[in-house]
Amino acid sequence: MIWQIMKKQGLMLIRNPVQLFLLIGLPMILITILGMALANYMNGESSPIDVKLAIVEHGNEEEQLDRFMNDMKTELPPEAIEGIESGTAGLTPISTLKEDILGSDELDGRINVQEASPEELDNLLDDETYTAVIEVPENFTYNMLEYMVLDKQVQPELKVSQNEMQEIGVSVVNGILEQYQEQFTLGTFAGKSGIDPGVLDLNGDASEGVITTVNQKNPITAKGYYAVGMVVMNVLFLASTIGSIAFYEKKIHVFDRIILGNVSRWNYFIGVLLSGMIFGFFHLLIVYAFAWLVFGVAWPDLMAFLTVTFIYAMAVGGIAVLLTAISYRINSELITNFFSGILVSLMAFLGGSFFPIGDSSALFRTIGNLTPNGAGMSAYIAILRGDGIPDVWNHLLFLIIFALLAIILAVLSFPKRGLTS
């Protein structure tokens, strides 16, 4: 009898081509679109961030440096002047920023730096194509030399106007300026202390050897990531579909006829449970097979992959029978519709199906792993990277406990005889 129930639900699913396409075809389409659209980001390649930066100087740096040295010569003896000249050699903060930092090979082609006159400042601030405008105040270098050499109390500052509409570009500029300030301060400290600045640098040529990566894992491509993300999300819709089919059978009195035929209601219960598990298992295999054939998403440990798939299918079966039991109890498809319409999308977001949200916050990672799809995705990603079952046992244990709790709640909610209508 259990086999007949499973066969009947399978036939009803196959005879609905639209539903079948949504369950199997949709994740394939989403894997293709998302995997190709976000391939550069997920594969660690540079993203097309357009950072356009303008530098406006109110004064000439070389003139300020000469003026500072001339002023020192009128106030200090020649011996002190020689020490100052040796200590301030190369201390040109703005030239260092433009040539050594913004003009470095690492930033070549990534940041468009333009120099402009003070008369152009207003137009630059109104131009939304610029990520930031760095304004160098008048006598900035002169005041900076006074601060560094003569220990003046007030440190001069650059004025940076940022375009808040370009958040990523602004964060890049801020990071560069912070790094520049740290390096310049470190160089100043070395000069004052008589330390060779080269000693503070970690020069790769000063040591010989080979850099070895320990415990190197397989990289996760965009198509691999979204193959997992879309599959663990869309298979949840299969659970709600089975719940809807079961409730439809209740409305056309199939369940009542089973009860009148003196067949235990638990036969139907087990049939729904096994339908969710088996159909879910094959759904996972079909879409993953597509990802393997089309995009080359291969699993290093096939046995570990099948184990995770089977346990995740158990969780899907638990959800299917729980939705069925609650729908039968309240005599409404409200809970099934809520699950497929809202809850699946929420769990997919928290679980990382759309974006690796767990990488930005340990809290979100923990919350995501407390959802069945999130735990399943974490296990699949680990297996895809080359880990084994011992490395993902915590996620598998959570899925097993989740499946058992769902089944127990379904048993408690499943209506008894006389409560089926």
Report the alpha-carbon distance of residue 118 to residue 116 in Å, rounded. Answer: 7
Helix (H) or strand (E) segment spanning residue 112: strand 111-116
pLDDT, tens only, 399-421? 999 999 999 998 898 876 544 44
- How open is the CA angle 263-269-270, to the nearest 5 degrees? 95
Tell me the HSE value of 382 on the side-chain side, using a 13 A CA sphere.
Answer: 19
Tokens coding 117: 């006159």
The pLDDT of residue 249 is 74
Give backbone dihedrals phi and psi of 388, rounded to 5 degrees, phi first: -115, -175
Report the alpha-carbon distance of residue 100 to residue 40 in Å, rounded. Answer: 28
Q: How many CB atoms lie within 10 A of CB 94?
A: 19
Identity of residue 72: M
Cβ-contact 220, 291 below 8 angstroms: no
Residue ranges of the chain with per-residue pLDDT less than 50:
44-48, 197, 199-216, 418-421
The pLDDT of residue 304 is 92
The pLDDT of residue 178 is 80
The pLDDT of residue 420 is 47
Report the alpha-carbon distance of residue 315 to residue 89 in Å, rounded. Answer: 69
The pLDDT of residue 348 is 87
The pLDDT of residue 371 is 92
The pLDDT of residue 215 is 42
Tokens coding 100: 């050594």
Tell me the HSE value of 130 on the side-chain side, using a 13 A CA sphere.
Answer: 21
The pLDDT of residue 209 is 40
The pLDDT of residue 60 is 86
